[in-house]
Structure 1
Amino acid sequence: MTAHERLHTRAWVLHPDIKSDEDRRAAKPALDEAVALAAALPDLEVIGANIVPLPRAQPGLLFGSGKIAELKQTFSENKIELVLVDGPVTPVQQRNLEREWKVKLLDRTGLILEIFSDRAATREGVLQVEMAALSYQRTRLVRAWTHLERQRGGLGFVGGPGETQIEADRRAIDTQLVRLRRQLDKVIKTRGLHRAARAKVPYPIVALVGYTNAGKSTLFNRLTGAEVMAKDMLFATLDPTMRRVQLPDGPEVILSDTVGFVSDLPTELVAAFRATLEEVLGADLIVHVRDISHPETAAQAAEVDSILSSLGVEQDRPQIEVWNKLDRLPEEERTALLARAERGAGVFAISALTGEGLELLLQEIAVQLRGARHEAQLHLKFEDGRKRAWLFDQDVVREETQTEDGFDLTVLWTARQAAQFAAL
């Protein structure tokens, strides 16, 4: 065995294409994405990948017996150590398949958790990954052991085999979750203070969002000169990175690079990583970066829009759409796309890699943000407590003086916040 083989786990990726699932994704792009997910883990070597068409999922083994035998031979011939199933696998299915194939098995959630734990860099990111992983383990712990309770004999005086251990494991996980939640609350509070301090700086915030691997980090690096990890792999960025950028003939802005979105993101992780997208909620302008060379670019864009609206980002929030990776397109397609972008309002075709189209994009960002935040003087009466609380909640108050009949306030806000305040 070579040193290379010793260092890397030999993996195989399966995408179950379940015909009875009406919401299923197109199989080929889904398999490609799953392989790219696997490639995001440095110690995995993907030896092979295939789509497995299924009329419906089998409750105990997911696949039919003939397919299981056929795959077993493939895995044995290729010395596979880990099988990645692109989709949900129940604890019972996982245990049965591992026993049949004599390999370790991870489902889509398990794989994404592995990537998140490998990538998370900030204290908050690390804590959130740990919590998501524990929640995931807890559900598997509970369900994976139900078969033991059915096996127990006797008169019921004694718990089923392993039951005490499960209870102890669940208690240990719950204790750990409470401890992590306390630590996370402290970290989030600190970030809230940082955000409040940033709100008092008259720099508008521009948030880069997009499907994972759309090229946000490459664009961020090119605009800021920062060395954020920018590799052609999914989930390269997991923690929001903020940098100040001076726009040509425009204001100074804070640019925020965020975690990439992905379809079917496990529920544990949607909750865990909501806070890394908080910067988007406070942004004055959202720049939606799309990989325009990807065959599923329209579906990816729809996924990003749906996640943004689920986070509570309003439809009227200023947005720019960026069609990235022009350099990957054939000349004819590229020319047609540039013509389409010129016709579409708020759409810019660029290559973050070569820098093509960036000048026009930066000009548009400057136009959108000119006067994005402005100072205003307000007077509130003592009975306007709700309005005052709203202003402080928005982190827009710069100064406040109490007068005989209320408060004089200096606020720094956007036109959108001024309109929201007027509607209170």
Structure 2
Amino acid sequence: MLEKKVTNYEKAVLIGVINREQDEHKVKEYLDELEFLTYTAGGEVTNRFMQRMDVPNPKTYIGSGKMEEVERFVKSNEIGSVIFDDELSPAQQNNIEKILKCKILDRTSLILDIFAQRAKTSYARTQVELAQYEYLLPRLTGLWTHLERQRGGIGMRGPGETEIETDRRIVRDRIALLKKKLTKIDRQMETQRGNRGALVRVALVGYTNVGKSTLMNVISKSDVFAENKLFATLDTTVRKVVIGNLPFLLSDTVGFIRKLPTQLVESFKSTLDEVREADLLLHVVDISHPNFEEHIASVNQILDEIKSADKKTIMVFNKIDQYQPETIDEDDLVTEKTEAHFTLDEWKKTWYNKIGDRALFISALNKENLDDFRERVYSEVRDIHVTRFPYNNFLYPENLDGY
């Protein structure tokens, strides 16, 4: 008889704060995403705590009464991790650990942990390690962290130097070494991008888990790893794609997320160079997600940060097969119709009004409307190619049935 495989998930609780910047509905939505992040990292959420306060407690982030409630639950349920939705200061994290006596994580450290799990190549691992050390450095307080054995003592420790100061030096040295290593790899990758010639470059961008890798597999006929978890793809994958007889390069990039740690944006800057150097962006959106418009805003914000917001872009609304609007009973005269009740056709009209013909609606998984997608991408790439090679005798077929 086959034994059932048991996965041991670490028990965790989530904590969010309701304030002037985020109401209760918004906090619930953030905690939903935080729960998905926790699951991706290997945790199981057993409870959530929310507190309404204008300004977080500078010592413990939440108030003393709520902290006592969390402490009772943690002790009685053998909780392994308490995860806060916002980034904690080093002092807050240290104070909370002393009270709850368990692992204290914030959204940033959780995302960093997922990235560490997902990093497969040497380059990705180096990027993540740099981000982790930069996050860790200001949090080295009070305890000897045993990063590695202290180097030779003679001449290395001055009068009154503490173990934590030695620890900080070790981390700073490691950060400097990783930055040097990344600089070298960045130059190599820049050379590789330069060696690709003058082919038009198209980059898939979007929120994490919107189906970019699935779309990449369908269009490029390749086998890029895709999974229904956050940050399934860390390493940028570049494939040569031919539609009709027109070749171009298609890259699948790391997914974005709200409150993306600045350490990751910085350490992944070379990965994001694929976006910066692209001629055309395909902004993939999970239209089945109830808050997809906020995801679009988050992605646009990061594109703006990396100076790519003004690039030629097509909005690709994916997962139309999973889209299910909320329904209103015909006899219900009280409920007001909102965007949550929009049909797919209503969403199409809405976005066609916003950006005209720069919106496509597809299902990469079920291969719905992919012919329209190919034709539109072909048209855009052809226009860029003609501009780049005005005297090229390239033959552009009107019919793409042979793709």
Paired residues, number: 356
In terms of fraction of residues, the more helix-rich structure is 1
State yes or no: 1:372 paired with 2:384: yes
CA distance in 2, matches of 1:23, 1:189: 45
CA distance in 1, matches of 2:142, 2:274: 37
CA distance in 2, matches of 1:251, 1:302: 32
Structure 1 length-normalised TM:
0.77
Q: Which 10-residue stretch deviates more, 328-337 or 282-291? A: 328-337
- Counterpart pick for 1:336 among 346, 349, 355: 346
State yes or no: 1:205 paired with 2:201: yes
Structure 1 residue 79 displacement after superposition: 2.0
C-alpha distance 48-353 of structure 1, shift in aligned 2 (>3 A): farther
State yes or no: 1:180 paired with 2:178: yes
CA distance in 1, matches of 2:358, 2:116: 36
What is the SS of the residue equivalent to 2:120? coil
Structure 1 residue 74 displacement after superposition: 2.0
State yes or no: 1:318 paired with 2:312: yes
State yes or no: 1:224 paired with 2:234: no
What is the SS of the residue equivalent to 2:296? helix
CA distance in 1, matches of 2:24, 2:269: 25
Q: Which 10-residue stretch deviates more, 108-117 or 50-59? A: 50-59
Whichever residue aligns with residue 10 of structure 1, its letter is: K
Q: Quick one: percent identity of the two aligned structures?
A: 36
In terms of fraction of residues, the more strand-rich structure is 1
CA distance in 1, matches of 2:351, 2:68: 51
Q: Which 10-residue stretch deviates more, 249-258 or 187-196? A: 249-258
CA distance in 2, matches of 1:55, 1:313: 35
2:11 aligned partner: 10
C-alpha distance 349-144 of structure 1, shift in aligned 2 (>3 A): farther
After the TM superposition, which residues 251-290 of structure 1 pair with which residues of structure 2 at under 5 Å, given as runs? 251-290=246-285
Whichever residue aligns with residue 304 of structure 2, its letter is: S
The question of whether the paired residues in 2 share the 8 Å contact of 1:14 and 1:84 is answered with yes
Q: Which 10-residue stretch deviates more, 294-303 or 361-370? A: 294-303
Structure 2 unmatched ranges of 5 or more: 145-157, 326-341, 393-403
**CA-atom RMSD in angstroms:** 2.7
CA distance in 2, matches of 1:8, 1:329: 30
CA distance in 2, matches of 1:269, 1:46: 25
Compare CA radii of gyration and give the structure with the larger one.
1
Whichever residue aligns with residue 219 of structure 2, its letter is: L
After the TM superposition, which residues 45-194 of structure 1 pair with which residues of structure 2 at under 5 Å, given as runs? 45-141=44-140, 159=160, 164-194=162-192
Q: Which 10-residue stretch deviates more, 335-344 or 180-189? A: 335-344
CA distance in 1, matches of 2:236, 2:159: 51
Q: Which 10-residue stretch deviates more, 222-231 or 286-295? A: 222-231
CA distance in 2, matches of 1:218, 1:283: 20
CA distance in 2, matches of 1:268, 1:71: 29
The question of whether the paired residues in 1 share the 8 Å contact of 2:142 and 2:164 is answered with no
Whichever residue aligns with residue 279 of structure 1, its letter is: E
Whichever residue aligns with residue 201 of structure 2, its letter is: I
State yes or no: 1:297 paired with 2:309: no
Structure 1 residue 4 displacement after superposition: 4.3
Whichever residue aligns with residue 131 of structure 2, its letter is: A
1:389 aligned partner: none
The question of whether the paired residues in 1 share the 8 Å contact of 2:240 and 2:247 is answered with yes
CA distance in 2, matches of 1:372, 1:298: 29
Whichever residue aligns with residue 227 of structure 1, its letter is: D
CA distance in 2, matches of 1:188, 1:206: 20
Structure 1 residue 25 displacement after superposition: 8.7
Structure 1 residue 239 displacement after superposition: 1.4
Structure 1 residue 279 displacement after superposition: 0.7
Structure 2 length-normalised TM:
0.81
1:359 aligned partner: 371
State the 4+ residue runs in structure 1 displaced beyond 4 angstroms.
2-5, 20-25, 142-145, 338-343
Structure 1 unmatched ranges of 5 or more: 146-156, 378-409, 411-424
CA distance in 2, matches of 1:51, 1:324: 33
